[in-house]
Chains A and B, each alone.
Chain A
């Protein structure tokens, strides 16, 4: 029971990260129907930029967590969002309207380019979180204790969940209530019609990428704080798991992406706790295949009507 609660907490934390990345995939797929393969690497760049800002802040002597976190969020998130914009502008926009495979290949190329440029610029070794920042976090809280083992929750995990909930609330409001969100949803349904009604399509698609990249950067920041070590190649595996999460939840659905992320995170954590750490990725993909076979539109996705 205690192990179960502990794994539940760990799984939800991991799931929040996957969910935030998955939203970027699901929005881009919903609006232009392509798998943005470089999204995992945008997340990796977000993690690196967060780490660099933390490092510079530590050098300047700003280590009080709330202030430092705010500065990191503003600086790293806006710069990573710019990466999302630039990738779309350079690699995808010239290919809009060509075959379905061309943007995908371009995205794979972009993904290889981004991860390798970070490899060359920042080196192949894992980067640890500066200990000055790490010491700011307190010891984990004991929740319950039985048979000599205890379930704990750290303030980082609480922080990750709070940030995720806040971001989700803000983001849902943005999509549901603002004119920007309306334009985005209109383009998702019918891009040609939306453009006839005066929606600026290029701007809307750009903003979709910007929002996805911003959320990916928040996920990257959380991973940097939580695992205290990042590397140039973390984007690939996180990327495919987050895309699996988007598919499991139903492509195009924002709550679905979060739900899928939570599911994949929980399955991964529980599988490693109760069965085998080595095969946790196999379990995650197994769930993906199972969901696609029995419910091809995902858990919360709308059934797709094929027009002939």
Chain B
């Protein structure tokens, strides 16, 4: 796509380069000023029904100035002169850090604190620090190159690449042992296991969506609808009819898969992006129906007091009704509320592993190969006699079924579901996990779910700023690695085995990769 010829750097004197650079930095600063002048500079305040405003132009000027100097430093760094960035970034980090540390000591220092919101001040600390680290990295790399050694980052990358097959096994071992590790107090332990359980739920959803998006190449923006179907299926069957979790789990999966087929049948012959918008509309439709069909779904209030999942019929409760034996009585243990947390943790862990196992096996069946072939070239698949609609439908139904399982687990764990939990943002988060992990990469999804779900959960104090950071993170990771964190598109099946390709096939594969990369 980049047809424009790269301009050769003309031999110009330092002075012209500097003038050009100053002009660019000034333009960036002016644009920052214009962008922030209304939205940041003027705050609307609604008091007693009337709208009023206050100004905060200090922030606007600080931001514009920071962009001006930052853009000069970054452009110098790009030209291979990282020293100014190292010094500038380091100095700003030190100054801001000192101000923030000493802000409680006197009013004079407090007046120097750049922004009102504490979190934005952290940004003022972290961004120059990142600049400093990057510049230092560049300098070290240049030094290593001068001494003829490989840069440290390259060596680390090569080692990681070799370790990939082992990472999965190590992660599984850690996950199995997690509840038995000394994680501190009981509440502490509960908190950590709760977060890991949440991450595992998203990993399971990610693996489910990966079948649809990563393997079959169908863009689904309404995946959360199937999650909702699963959750409401268990919620309604258990509260209205008292059915057990273990009966509802397959039913929830089947119901979600049915919805997947019902939706997929009319729309799967559409091209990719149209499919995206129809699935998005479908997700919204399900949510609107959940809100408004009050008799069945409980409306905006949702369903309360959903029964918990039992350990194969043994309820994990402190007190149980007459005639039933509880989990701790049966096993002769002391009652510990963490038993339930650990049980739920292992439950989702096993569910997720099952999803992973099924996916890995299906990829080797003709069906799975058809999915991947369809993703690469639909026309060729038709010519080879693959029925595209049926193949896509199976992928859609399979992905929906896994979302249904995850949904009924979610309902059993939370004991409360409402349409609030199934907004578009959830679909976007799951899709982001799949794409950021690297399409089709199972281990990449584990990594990106941990980064996207686990990190914000650990920093719960950020509250309002979580979603903001989440949005920026999505954009930055995409720009940094457009193919995802673990980008590789290794075909599951090869005609000639790995590394034994004849020359002709090899060149064909390279051409294919070039197309895929585009």
Contacts and interface: CB of A to CB of B under 8 A. Distances in A.
Contacts of A281: 284-285, 288
Contacts of B205: none
16 contacts: A55-B52, A82-B34, A102-B483, A105-B431, A105-B478, A106-B474, A108-B432, A111-B471, A121-B40, A125-B46, A131-B50, A201-B4, A282-B288, A289-B278, A292-B274, A304-B271
B39 A121 contact: yes
Interface string A138-162: 0000000000000000000000000
A52 B4 contact: no
A35 B431 CA distance: 15
Contacts of A95: 478-479, 482
A241 B112 CA distance: 46
B146 interface: no
A26 to B, nearest CB: 12
A293 B270 CA distance: 8
Nearest to B476: A109
Most buried by A among B2, B43, B51, B219: B51
Interface string B390-426: 0000000000000000000000000000000000110
B3 A110 contact: no
Interface in A185-215: 191-192, 195-196, 201-202
Interface string B40-67: 1011111001111100000000000000
Interface string B460-491: 00001101101111110011001100000000
A48 B292 contact: no
Interface of B: 1-4, 31, 34-35, 37-40, 42-46, 49-53, 117, 213, 219, 266-267, 269-274, 276-278, 280-282, 284-285, 288-289, 291-292, 379, 424-425, 428, 431-432, 435-436, 439, 464-465, 467-468, 470-475, 478-479, 482-483, 516-518
Contacts of B1: 96-97, 191-192
Contact of A108 (B43, B439, B474): B474
Most buried by B among A35, A191, A244: A35
Nearest to A126: B46
Interface residues of A, number: 80
A20 B202 CA distance: 37
Given A98-B482, A192-B3, A127 B44 contact: yes
B51 A128 contact: yes
Given A95-B479, A96-B1, A192-B3, A306 B285 contact: no
Nearest to B474: A109
Contacts of B284: 240, 281, 285
Q: Is the interface of B mostly helix, strand, loop or mixed?
A: helix
A192 B464 CA distance: 44
B277 A282 contact: no
Nearest to A33: B273
A181 interface: no
B281 A288 contact: yes
B502 to A, nearest CB: 25
Given A49-B38, A79-B37, A281-B288, A105 B3 contact: no
Nearest to A35: B273
A247 interface: yes
Nearest to B269: A296
A127 B474 CA distance: 29
Given A83-B35, A195-B3, A112 B439 contact: no
Interface in A90-131: 90-91, 94-106, 108-114, 116-123, 125-131
Which 9 residue pairs spanning A and B have beta carbons closest together?
A: A109-B474, A113-B471, A112-B471, A285-B281, A98-B482, A97-B1, A278-B292, A109-B475, A102-B482
Contact of B432 (A105, A113, A201, A288): A105
Most buried by B among A79, A82, A114: A79
A55 B53 contact: yes
B92 to A, nearest CB: 22
Interface in A10-50: 29, 33-35, 45, 48-49
A90 B266 CA distance: 37
Given A48-B39, A52-B42, A304-B271, 9 more contacts: A55-B53, A86-B31, A91-B478, A101-B213, A103-B478, A106-B478, A128-B49, A247-B277, A285-B282
A101 B219 contact: yes
Most buried by B among A79, A83, A101, A281: A101
A100 B64 CA distance: 33
Q: Is the interface of A mostly helix, strand, loop or mixed?
A: helix
A113 B270 contact: no
Contacts of B465: 120
B245 to A, nearest CB: 31
B464 A120 contact: yes
Contact of B479 (A94, A240, A247): A94
A122 B39 contact: yes
Contacts of B439: 99, 101
Most buried by B among A51, A83, A105, A247: A105
A236 interface: yes
A91 B479 contact: yes
B425 A112 contact: yes
Contact of B267 (A34, A113, A293, A308): A293
Interface string A48-60: 1101110110010
Contact of B289 (A104, A131, A282): A282
B364 to A, nearest CB: 25
A270 interface: no
Nearest to A103: B478
B285 A285 contact: yes
A59 B2 CA distance: 49
Interface in A254-308: 278-279, 281-282, 285-286, 288-289, 292-293, 296, 304, 306, 308
Nearest to B4: A195
A105 B50 contact: no
Contacts of B428: 108, 112
A289 B281 contact: yes
A282 B117 CA distance: 40
